[in-house]
Amino acid sequence: MTSKNLFAREALAQIPKILTLLDRNPHSPTYGCFDRNFWHYKIIDFPSGMAQEFVWPLALVYDTDVPDNPFYHQAVMRDWVEAGILYSLRSAHRDGSCDDYFPYERASGAAAFSLLACLESYILLQLQNQEMVDFFIRRADWLANHHESGQLTNHQALIVLCLSRLSQLVQTSKWDKAKVQRLERVLSWQSSEGWFQEYEGCDPGYHTLSISCLARIYQLNPDIRLKEALIKAVELAAEFVHADGSYGGEYTSRNTYNFFPHGFELVGRWMPESLQINDRFLQGLANGLGSCYGDDHIIGHHTWNYLLAWRDFVPNRSPIAPRSHGRIWLKKAKILIDRRENTELYLALNKGGVFKLFRHNQLIAADTQISLQVQQKGTVKNAIAHLIGSYQVNVSDDIITISGELGWAKQKQMTPLNLLILRIVMLSGGRFFPNLIRKLLQSILITGKKNAPFQFERQLSWENGQWHITDKIYAQSWHNVIAAGIGCDQTSIYVVMSRTFQIGQLQPWLNLTDEIKKLAPHQPLEIKRIV
């Protein structure tokens, strides 16, 4: 198997599940719906508009002659793609928008992802249906004029790509102003370090999705400012491919293992260094280090992107160059990468010192900082040191120290009462203020940090060719702490693409509960390790 075909293999493996998610019965009122929880299990009361994005992987496997592809030119696949586009149309609101997590949400991300998928599928299969085109225009009009809460660069880039592709299809300039404004926003959200803003900082995973969209936009309409932005973005992405070929993780702002390869192939046509990013990642993929995105909601994104990377794979490539040693300190992202003596450290200075450590191209340790279970007023709460915060940081050549306060993990769950209240709100006045509801939910589930009554100090020191880790946790009293430990993959905010499984997460939990029980009041917990 050539490296290129690894992309096809991974994508093809997802198609049977995507087809299982699809209502394939032409006589069903939900024919073409990909939300199995809605049409089959009937455990939710509206279909997710994001799910209709799954038409694009089906269109691609129908049209693309990848190895061992049983779906190639199967006529029924074409029928199912058409049904999916039509269901997207029929399940949308009258203004073209759609919902994702709650009724009348009018979610920009779901609308943009599914529009791009339906539009690209329509063009790829050379469909002729004015009803579909009219729907694309309604949704594009809505996207052009709607502005969501939160800074998510990948959504802005997706919207620009949607408007660009539809403008080509219907030969119009009506969205030119909106495209310019959105692209200006994307460029303004790029840090001088090269990364794009995703909520509270730098997420290398979503960064690759933004690159994928922007590379396609540049291909459609070359612009020197966009090219310069892509060069900076690609150069940064190259630093986040780990020594074993894996990518991303919990040291990033959104805790994702996302990797979207298509943009690197497009950029690689004029910037050959870009291809080395995919080549390093393919080495990891060959060794089973890809992340699993096979759940009902997120299975589509990587599937279509992998197929596009296979289709646009650049055949002439240079051998992978050796990685240079040294330190990269992204002071705005607050991420430090240190490479020395066959060791690579990826350290989040803004997340309490969460890190991944590699030696001789193997993952040695992943650490998402201390976690305490605390009994408080009849409930068990979770105090953690890995939420984004303003910590005290000191960095020298061989010693790095991070200190600050622990925060309470975001563990809010839906209850029947919560769901009932949300439904009543959205079915009444809330439908007119979906962005406000979204902003409130973001503050509850994603952004912000409430301090817990514990302090931490983490020191990493380089001695005799190894990193020595010293952790100290301070408390006024330990009597209400019922458990303590350090895990390799803990996260505590809601991000749809996070908490996926990756083989590096097979590291055992470091249980510190017995150590806590030995402590006297005011005595700090101290843990020393060599990694």
pLDDT at 151 (0 to 100) = 86
Given a contact cutoff of 8 angstroms between Cβ atoms, the answer to whether 261 and 306 are in contact is yes
Is the pLDDT score of 445 beyond 80? Answer: no
Q: Which of 415, 480, 475, 500 is nearest to 205 (CA)?
A: 500
| pLDDT digits 0-9 by tens, 22-71 | 999 999 999 999 999 999 999 999 999 999 999 999 999 999 999 999 99
For the CA atoms of 56, 202, 237, 271, the dihedral, rounded to the nearest 10 degrees, stands at 80
Q: How confident is the model at residue 434 (pLDDT cuts 50, 70, 90)?
A: confident
The C-alpha atoms of residue 349 and residue 165 are separated, in whole angstroms, by: 40
| pLDDT digits 0-9 by tens, 78-100 | 999 999 999 999 999 999 999 99
Query: Which letter, b or e, does each residue of 4-23 get, where b requires 16 or more Cβ atoms within 10 Å of its Cβ?
Result: bbbbbbbbbebbebbbebbb
| pLDDT digits 0-9 by tens, 254-297 | 999 999 999 999 999 999 999 999 999 999 999 999 999 988 88
DSSP state of 64: -
| pLDDT digits 0-9 by tens, 374-422 | 998 889 999 999 998 889 999 999 999 999 999 999 887 778 888 888 8
Residue ranges per domain, the chain? 11-149, 150-313, 327-410+446-530
Give the DSSP H or E segment for 517: helix 513-517
Taken in order 294, 299, 302, 303, is the CA torsion positive or negative? Answer: positive
Pick the CATH number of 150-313 from 1.20.120.420, 1.50.10.10, 3.40.50.150, 3.40.50.2000: 1.50.10.10
pTM above 0.85?
yes
Q: How confident is the model at residue 430 (pLDDT cuts 50, 70, 90)?
A: confident
| pLDDT digits 0-9 by tens, 198-233 | 977 899 999 999 999 999 999 999 999 999 999 999
Pairing of strands 466-475, 481-486: unpaired
For the chain, give the mean pLDDT: 94
